[in-house]
Amino acid sequence: MTFEQGNIIKINDIKNAHFIIVSKNAFIKATGMFHVCPVIKASNPGPLHIKVSGQKGFSGTVICEQIKLIDPSARACTKADHLPYGDIMEVSDALQGVFEYD
């Protein structure tokens, strides 16, 4: 199974949780791994908590400060939905802001 930036996935070992893939597609292709942030149903939007809606109806809030690296060959991952490009850009901008210099 191939994964790409903006996929909303489930990790089978983690019950009732969804994650958004935030890594660039070139990183995923080069390493076979990807970074994810959790997506939760109930949270107040803020600078690092971005509300998103998937193309198949999934919705929630991405928690951008909780970024993790996942190796899908070691964890059973399945696709649940995909974000529209505008939501991917908004999440990417928030993440970039976390790592910019002062």
Which CATH number fits the domain that encloses residue 33? 2.30.30.110
**Is 38 a domain residue?**
yes
In this prediction, residue 50 has a pLDDT band, given cuts at 50, 70 and 90, of very high
Residue 76 belongs to domain spanning: 18-82
Domain contains 49: yes
pLDDT tops 80 at residue 58: yes
Backbone angles phi, psi at 28, to 5 degrees: -60, -45
Question: Is 13 inside a domain boundary?
Answer: no
Query: How many structural domains compose the chain?
Result: 1
Q: 5 in a domain, yes or no?
A: no
pLDDT > 80? residue 102: no
**What would the pLDDT profile of 77-95 be if each residue is shown by its tens digit?**
999 999 999 999 999 999 9
> What's the predicted TM-score (pTM) here?
0.92
Average pLDDT of the residues in 23-49: 93
In the chain, what is the greatest distance between 2 CA atoms, to the nearest angstrom?
39
CB 63 within 8 A of CB 49: yes
Number of residues in the chain: 102
Specify if 96 maps to a domain.
Answer: no
Can you tell me the mean pLDDT for 45-71?
94
